[in-house]
Amino acid sequence: MIILRNIKVPYDKDEKFLSGEIAKKLNKRDFNYKIYKKSLDARHEINFVYQVIVDLDLADIDKKIIKRLKNNIEEFHEDKLEVENINKIKSAVIIGTGPAGLFAAYLLAKKGVKVTLIERGKKVEDRLRDIDTLHETGKLDENSNVQFGEGGAGTFSDGKLTSRSKDKRVSHVFEIFVKNGAPEDILYEQKPHIGTDILRNVIKNIRQDIERKGAIYKFSEKLIDFEICNGKINKIITDKGEYSADCYILAIGNSARDTFVMLDKYDLIEQKPFAVGFRIEHLRKNIDKAQYGMISEKLPSATYQLNITDKEEAHSVYTFCMCPGGYVVNSSSIKSQLCVNGMSYHDRKGENSNSAVVATIDKKIYGEGNLAGMNFQNEIEKKAYKMGGGLAPVQRVKDFMENRATEKLGEVLPTFKPGYVFADLNEIYPESINHAIKNALKLMNRRVHGFCSDDAILTGVETRTSSPIRIVRENYRSEKLKNLFPIGEGAGYSGGIISSALDGLKCAMEILEGEKEC
C-alpha cells in the first residue's frame, strides 16, 4: 500500500473529483483507496487537502511519477496495537468512567483482566434525564450532571476529538470510537468531532462492548477511602462496599473535589496551575465570515484557537474548548455554585458559536497549599451562583470593557438554560485577571474579526479548564502507593477526551506489560 499526500480538492467539489485527482497523479485507473487525513486550507483559495492510502505498491508506479511526487508518496505500513497480559494481571478496579477509565477498562477487559468500574454518577440514559431537568429547572443532582456520570465530563460536550499528541496509539482510540458507532470521518478529519447527540450512544455501546468482555459496572457508587498496608492499597472503600484487586486505576476527572480532599489526607497530591475566565458567545455566521471570508453550507462551521501572551500582563489568555454552533451549559457539580462550559450537536448549526476565554493562574493568585487552587475555584463558583441567583450572570462585551452591568442585549442572545441575569462580571475575579482578559479580547478581535463585537456575550464562569491538582505518579504508578494508577485529566496528565483516553490506554499497557509491581 502507498500513502499519497497533498491532494487538493476545491471545497465545493465532491469525492469523484478526489478519485480523479488520484488517478491523474498516479496515472492509473484501477485502484481502491481510503482517506487517511483530510484538512481544510482556507488561507487563499478554499481547498480540502487529502492524504489517501491506495492499494498499490510503489513498484506498480512509474519511477518518473515517484520522483515528481517527491515526499508526497511513500510506502504505508499499518500500525497494530499488539499487547499481551505478560504480567498475568487477574483483576483491576477502575474508579471513574470518563474516557481515561473507559479506555483503560476496554484494553484490560480485552486481555482477560476481571475489571470492575466504580462510577459515582448514573448510566448515560439516566444521566441525560437529570441534565434535561437541570436545563429546564436549574435543579442540580450533585452526582449526576455535566461532570459526573457515565462517559465522564465530555459526554455532554462538543465532542471535539482533537489532540496535540503525536503518539501513534491515538489511532486506536479513534478506531474504538468508530467500532462503537462514531462517524468514520473521525478517522481522517484534521479536526474530528462527534457532537453530544452521537457521543451519548457511543458511550452506551462502549459499555455494552466492555461488559461483553466480562467487566462489571457499579453506577451511583462513590470511592470514599482506601485501606492501605505496606505502601499498597489493600482495598478501596466506597459508600456501598469494599473492593480488592491486583491494581486500582484512579480516573476521577478534574471535578472530584471531595475525592481530592481524601487523597490529600494520604499526601498523594500537589497543586498545579490552571486557567479561569468566562465563556464568550458570538454569532456563528460572523465567525464563519471572519475565518472563510464567505458563508457557505458546503463548509463546516468555522473554528478558531487564539492565544495572547503580553509581557505587560500578569496572565496569558487563550481561547479553549471552542464550540461552533454550540450552546453554553451549566457544568457545576456542587449546589449553590455555578460554572459553565460549551456543548454542541453533531451538525453544529446553532445560531451562536462559543468558546472559553481564560487566563492562566497559579499560586500567586490562590496561595500555597495542595488544595488552594481548588478552594479558589469554589470561591469563584459561589460568587457566580450568588450573582445569577441560580441563573447565569451574563454581560455584553462592551459593558464588560466599560465596567457596567448590561441593561439590554444586542444581536447575540445568550444560550444558557434555564435563563440568565444581567450582571457586571468585573466583580468576580481579581483585577489582574479582568485586565488581562480585556486586553486579550481586543487583540483577539483583530485576529478573528467579530470575535468580540460590542454585542458578543460573556457568561460567568469558566473555572474547570483543567485540574487544580496533580496526583503525583511515575510511570503511571502513584509514588506512594505502588498498586495505584492515577490517570486522566483529574490526575493532571491529560486535557481533553482524546488525550485522556490515550492516557487510559497507555496505563493499561503499562499494567499488562510494564515492570511488575502489582
Residues that bind ligand FAD in the complex, under the rule CB under 6 A: 95-101, 118-121, 146-149, 152-154, 156-160, 222-223, 251-253, 256, 259, 321, 329, 331, 341-343, 488-490, 495-498, 500
**What is the SS3 assignment for 479?**
coil
Beta strands 47-54 and 2-10, pairing class: antiparallel
Q: Identify which of residues 111 and 348 has a Cβ nearer to ligand FAD in the complex.
A: 348
Q: Identify which of residues 118 and 397 has a Cβ nearer to ligand FAD in the complex.
A: 118
Q: Closest separation between CB of residue 499 and ligand FAD, Å?
A: 7
Joined together, the cell numbers standing for residue 8 give: 487538493
Q: Closest separation between CB of residue 224 and ligand FAD, Å?
A: 7
Q: Closest separation between CB of residue 194 and ligand FAD, Å?
A: 9
Q: Closest separation between CB of residue 143 and ligand FAD, Å?
A: 7
Q: Closest separation between CB of residue 94 and ligand FAD, Å?
A: 9
Joined together, the cell numbers standing for residue 49 give: 487537502
Beta bridge partners, 37, equal 51
Nearest residue to 321 (alpha-carbon basis) of 298, 346, 340? 340
Q: Closest separation between CB of residue 341 and ligand FAD, Å?
A: 3
Q: What backbone phi and psi angles, to 5 degrees, belong to 139?
A: -85, 120
The answer to whether residues 162 and 304 touch, using CB atoms and an 8 Å cutoff, is: no
Among all chains, which residue has been given the C-alpha cell 499528541? 165
Give the other-Cβ count within 10 Å of 82's Cβ: 6
For residues 23 and 491, give the distance between their C-alpha atoms in angstroms, rounded to a whole number: 49
The answer to whether residues 323 and 389 touch, using CB atoms and an 8 Å cutoff, is: no
Q: Identify which of residues 286 and 494 has a Cβ nearer to ligand FAD in the complex.
A: 494
Q: Identify which of residues 96 and 388 has a Cβ nearer to ligand FAD in the complex.
A: 96
Which residue type, as a one-letter code, is found at position 278? F
Q: Closest separation between CB of residue 175 and ligand FAD, Å?
A: 17
Q: Identify which of residues 147 and 445 has a Cβ nearer to ligand FAD in the complex.
A: 147
For residues 26 and 69, give the distance between their C-alpha atoms in angstroms, rounded to a whole number: 9
Q: Identify which of residues 110 and 222 has a Cβ nearer to ligand FAD in the complex.
A: 222
Q: What is the dihedral of CA 370, 373, 375, 381, to 10 degrees?
A: -160
Joined together, the cell numbers standing for residue 11 give: 471545497
For residues 476 and 479, give the distance between their C-alpha atoms in angstroms, rounded to a whole number: 9
For residues 33 and 501, give the distance between their C-alpha atoms in angstroms, rounded to a whole number: 29
If residue 58 lies in a helix (H) or strand (E), which one and from where to where? none
Q: Identify which of residues 332 and 434 has a Cβ nearer to ligand FAD in the complex.
A: 332
Q: Identify which of residues 33 and 243 has a Cβ nearer to ligand FAD in the complex.
A: 243
Q: Closest separation between CB of residue 360 and ligand FAD, Å?
A: 17
Q: Closest separation between CB of residue 134 and ligand FAD, Å?
A: 12
Q: Identify which of residues 191 and 363 has a Cβ nearer to ligand FAD in the complex.
A: 191
Q: Closest separation between CB of residue 107 and ligand FAD, Å?
A: 14
Q: What backbone phi and psi angles, to 5 degrees, belong to 221?
A: -135, 130
Q: Closest separation between CB of residue 496 and ligand FAD, Å?
A: 3
**What is the SS3 assignment for 259?**
helix
Q: Closest separation between CB of residue 498 and ligand FAD, Å?
A: 6
The answer to whether residues 460 and 428 touch, using CB atoms and an 8 Å cutoff, is: yes
Q: Identify which of residues 146 and 233 has a Cβ nearer to ligand FAD in the complex.
A: 146
Give the other-Cβ count within 10 Å of 171's Cβ: 13
Contacts of 354 (CB under 8 A, 6+ apart): 279, 280, 281, 282, 322, 323, 326, 327, 328, 342, 415
Nearest residue to 120 (alpha-carbon basis) of 92, 90, 74, 151? 151
**Angle of CA points 432, 462, 311, to nearest 5°:** 30
Q: Identify which of residues 91 and 238 has a Cβ nearer to ligand FAD in the complex.
A: 238
Q: Identify which of residues 161 and 423 has a Cβ nearer to ligand FAD in the complex.
A: 161
The answer to whether residues 481 and 236 touch, using CB atoms and an 8 Å cutoff, is: no
The answer to whether residues 468 and 373 touch, using CB atoms and an 8 Å cutoff, is: yes
